Chain A
Amino acid sequence: MKKNKLTLGILLCGIAVLSSCDSHSDECHECHIAFDTPNGEIEVPINNAAGGEEFCGAELEEAEGSDFSYLLTEDYIAGADTVPAGTYTEIHCEAHAH
């Protein structure tokens, strides 16, 4: 009887393992212009259409698309480096260390 219960437990574990597959994320994410300098990459945060920081759903897909461009209206200063105002196509939305 005890063994039967254990066997049942094992089978339930199996079902749990099978059903624990990770689904691809559909959350919202912040995006930035990736500006390459001799000192490394500068990340310039960008805003979504509503002025918010996060891009979701179709807007995230659009921001990550190859046709997307972002107009930086003012120079962005990062330490000793400056990212000049202009239109940028190198947009990244992956997360970084915190």
Chain B
Amino acid sequence: MKKEIILSFVMMMTFSINAQIRGVVIDKDSIPVVDVEILIPDYDIKFYTNYLGEFSVEIGIDNRSHLYFYKDGYESKISQYKEDTELVIILDDLHVDIDEISVTASYNILGNSKVTNIQNLSIKDVFLNSNSMIESITELSGVDIISSGIGIQKVVVRGLSGMRVVTYLNGMQINNQQWANDHGIGFTDLGLDKVELIKGSSALRYGSESIGGLLYFKDHPFIKLEGAKGYLASKFNSSSYFSSNQFGLKWNKNNLFFNMHGQYSISSDYRLPNNKYLFNSRFKQNSIKFSVAHKKNNLQNIFRYQLHNESPGIPGHVHGDPSTIELTQLLSSDIDFNEDFKITRPNQFVTNQLFIYESNYFLDNSIISLYLGHFRNNLQEYEKWTAPAFNLTLSNTLINPNIKYSYNNSTIELGSQFSILNNVNNINERLVPNASSINIGPYGIFNYEKDNLGVNLGIRYDYKNLKSRDNTVNNNKIFDIDYSESFNAFSISSGVFCEFKDHIIRISYSGASRTPHFSELFSNGVHHGTNRYEIGNEDLLIENANQIDLKYQWSNEHLGVVINPFIQHITNFISISPTDSFSSVYRIYNYMQYELVQIKGIEMNIHYHPHLLHNLHIEQSYSFLNTRNKDDLYGLALTPANSVKTKLVLDLNQYQKLTKFKINNLSVYHIHKFQQNSFAQYEEFTASYDVINLQLGGKFNNQFEYAFLINNVFNKEYTPHISRLRGVAGGVPNPGRSFSINLKYNF
């Protein structure tokens, strides 16, 4: 009997280890489709079909697991794995790729995109196809950028940014003093596969504070290949003589998976349309990351580590009123190649380290997960050569147990986020004090989806205790803080969708809260990155946001249309306002609260695909945003101007004359920004403008890809309304015409 038990156990183990996923992918004419990506989302493992369209890998997964099939130009599909069954997957040609409410099958980490406003963007080729990852994300409707060149860039979602747009990287919240516009996102596109974006306050599982939106960046999946695979990539941009080099390596043997990536980038000052250079817009970055996964039976463990260093210059730095200086004072007439790649002052030194451990245990209908993450950000901001203006270390530890249970058409998720945040000044000079917080956020989310109907309901409770004790004396300035306050808040997210023939409609409601950040409560000092003296306010209350989002979508084979109106009310909106006082040469700004701010707008997308020219794709998005501050005659600060974004993509693969010259695709991107006449007291009117970018891409062979980009083709001089440098010298223009050559070699 004992022998039989041992034998059956061994057989079970053997089967589990050697269980095969096998099948074939064909198109509607039964022709095999090669190189189809097949992803097992729950396990984050990917493999490909071979030259016969077949796939066969030995990996033990349970019957509930889904397989996601994707190939460019085909309609993606999700199929449920069945033990001992050879899968036959038929992928249809895809004409209209409008993945707004998941017409094409897609998988999302953040939840069900049918009932929540989740947008999914692949960024795995962004190094090749774009100047920067953030610029690529801004092609989405409702998304804008606060920037000064490529060195410092931040995402704006429906007019909100900073603390209100929360960023996650592989499940870990990135806290890197993001309250200031001169503090960038803190990592690059290195090793990243996709980004998911939630607009508004629906990101329940990932914290209530993301009332503007949530960006979730995810690494490349692990690859099942029994060997190694890698890439080398390099890019050069003529505007700032920016060059960047990346490498990546993926390795797998049996149940062990390993990914590793590295990057080094350097840039001088960027060139304006008038052929002058914006002094100190230079930067350097280097980064390395690796991840290891091990899967055995029902248990999967993943460890990830990332180190990112960057030293961006802070351009547009002035003493006194930035609006009164001449633009010429900020510009260099030429580039000195010996000097202008060197880091100068003022600048930042940023070191970010990320440690992640994930453990997933797979049962028949459920996944039990434990997530441990630790993010450490060191930010040193220098104006002087010999001593920083501030030197802060911000560490964030996150523990997130979660259980996901699926039954028939329903899914329930229960879990809690425990996070500990600690901000420490390493020197006496300081802008914000030492502070710490503990946050506990239990949540429950229910999803139901059957046929043409879906429902989502989630609720979360957050308890946060924020403490600061700091009585540092420096330069006759005393931080006399003894603060301990607890905040309690409920968040809710709900949505319903229904589908009728080619029509899909979804309505969602969400409510979330954001506790004041320690920078908003206690700041007291000069912030060289913004040319301000900033003073916090200890009496600030919780911000509350309520949003209704409606989405209608219709599509046929050649045309897809999405219409997405929304309205959001934010009470106790925290803002910063200028005073008539000065500290030394810097104007004093006070943190304060508006009773009610209303943000409403409409986003529309059109994807047209002419029947006579199947290889031409025309995508257009419209973003119209209106903000109203009921306490002030002026509008809200940093509200992006309305925009129309158009992209034409021509696939040239069918033209042999062109493919002979290794040219495979051509795209044109045009953005029209309307004038912005709704602005805050310390902002001003911004005129409309148009910018056009061109891109030519191709392959020298199956391994070697290239892209040639011309940005700002007509050398248009413009300063976006939400540019970091809009208020400096009447507005410092964005880069003029530039050329990029990007190369990638896969092996």
Residues in A lying within 8 Å of B, measured CB to CB: 3, 6-7, 10, 13-14, 16-18, 20-22, 24-25, 27, 29, 34, 36, 39-41, 60-61, 64, 66, 90, 92-98
Check B344 against A95 for contact (C-beta < 8 Å): yes
Check B311 against A61 for contact (C-beta < 8 Å): no
- Contacts A13-B247, A40-B324, A40-B325 given; indicate if A64 touches B387 (C-beta within 8 A): yes
Check A41 against B286 for contact (C-beta < 8 Å): no
Q: For the side of the interface on B, what is the size category?
A: 35 or more
Contact of A22 among B248, B311, B330, B384 (CB under 8 A): B311
B662 at the binding interface (Cβ < 8 Å) = no
Contact of A98 among B264, B318, B332, B384 (CB under 8 A): B332
Check B307 against A36 for contact (C-beta < 8 Å): no
Check A25 against B343 for contact (C-beta < 8 Å): yes
Residues of B contacting A94 with CB < 8 Å?
A: 317, 344-346, 383-385
- Contacts A10-B260, A18-B286, A21-B309 given; indicate if A64 touches B385 (C-beta within 8 A): yes
Residues of B contacting A24 with CB < 8 Å?
A: 349
* Alpha-carbon distance between A94 and B316 when the two chains are bound, in angstroms: 13
Most buried by B among A7, A13, A36, A61: A13
Residues of A contacting B232 with CB < 8 Å?
A: 10, 13
Check B260 against A14 for contact (C-beta < 8 Å): yes
* Alpha-carbon distance between A25 and B342 when the two chains are bound, in angstroms: 9
Check A13 against B262 for contact (C-beta < 8 Å): yes
Residues in B lying within 8 Å of A, measured CB to CB: 227-228, 230, 232, 245, 247-249, 260, 262-264, 277, 279-280, 284, 286-288, 307, 309, 311, 317-320, 324-326, 329-333, 336, 342-346, 349, 383-387, 475, 584-585, 747
Residues of A contacting B228 with CB < 8 Å?
A: 3, 7
Residues of B contacting A92 with CB < 8 Å?
A: 319, 383
* Alpha-carbon distance between A18 and B346 when the two chains are bound, in angstroms: 24
Check B747 against A6 for contact (C-beta < 8 Å): yes
Residues of B contacting A98 with CB < 8 Å?
A: 279, 332-333, 336
Residues of A contacting B318 with CB < 8 Å?
A: 41
Check A18 against B307 for contact (C-beta < 8 Å): yes
* Alpha-carbon distance between A97 and B272 when the two chains are bound, in angstroms: 14
Most buried by A among B280, B307, B319, B585: B319
Residues of A contacting B384 with CB < 8 Å?
A: 64, 93-94
Check A60 against B286 for contact (C-beta < 8 Å): no
* Alpha-carbon distance between A71 and B741 when the two chains are bound, in angstroms: 53
Residues of A contacting B585 with CB < 8 Å?
A: 34, 36, 41, 90
* Alpha-carbon distance between A21 and B265 when the two chains are bound, in angstroms: 11
Instruction: Looking at the assembled complex, report how far the CB atom of B228 sits from the nearest CB atom of chain A, in whole angstroms.
Output: 6
- Contacts A18-B288, A22-B343, A97-B332 given; indicate if A41 touches B320 (C-beta within 8 A): yes
Q: Could you list 25 examples of A-B contacts with CB < 8 Å?
A: A3-B747, A7-B230, A10-B247, A10-B260, A13-B262, A14-B262, A17-B288, A18-B288, A21-B309, A22-B284, A22-B309, A25-B344, A40-B329, A64-B384, A64-B386, A90-B585, A92-B319, A93-B385, A94-B317, A94-B383, A97-B279, A97-B280, A97-B330, A97-B332, A98-B336
Instruction: Looking at the assembled complex, report how far the CB atom of B461 sits from the nearest CB atom of chain A, in whole angstroms.
Output: 42
Residues of B contacting A6 with CB < 8 Å?
A: 230, 747
Instruction: Looking at the assembled complex, report how far the CB atom of A20 sits from the nearest CB atom of chain B, in whole angstroms.
Output: 5
9 cross-chain pairs, A with B, having the tightest CB-CB distances, nearest first: A97-B279, A94-B345, A17-B262, A64-B384, A61-B386, A97-B332, A95-B344, A14-B262, A13-B247
Residues of A contacting B280 with CB < 8 Å?
A: 95, 97
* Alpha-carbon distance between A97 and B24 when the two chains are bound, in angstroms: 62
Check A34 against B319 for contact (C-beta < 8 Å): yes
Residues of B contacting A10 with CB < 8 Å?
A: 230, 232, 247-249, 260, 262
* Alpha-carbon distance between A27 and B286 when the two chains are bound, in angstroms: 23
* Alpha-carbon distance between A41 and B320 when the two chains are bound, in angstroms: 8
Check B320 against A36 for contact (C-beta < 8 Å): yes
* Alpha-carbon distance between A13 and B333 when the two chains are bound, in angstroms: 35
Check B333 against A36 for contact (C-beta < 8 Å): no
Most buried by A among B262, B329, B332, B385: B385
Residues of B contacting A61 with CB < 8 Å?
A: 386-387
Residues of A contacting B230 with CB < 8 Å?
A: 6-7, 10
Contact of A97 among B262, B329, B385 (CB under 8 A): B329
Residues of B contacting A25 with CB < 8 Å?
A: 342-344, 385
Instruction: Looking at the assembled complex, report how far the CB atom of B11 sits from the nearest CB atom of chain A, in whole angstroms.
Output: 36
Residues of A contacting B346 with CB < 8 Å?
A: 94
Residues of B contacting A93 with CB < 8 Å?
A: 345, 384-385
Residues of A contacting B264 with CB < 8 Å?
A: 16-17, 20
* Alpha-carbon distance between A63 and B277 when the two chains are bound, in angstroms: 29
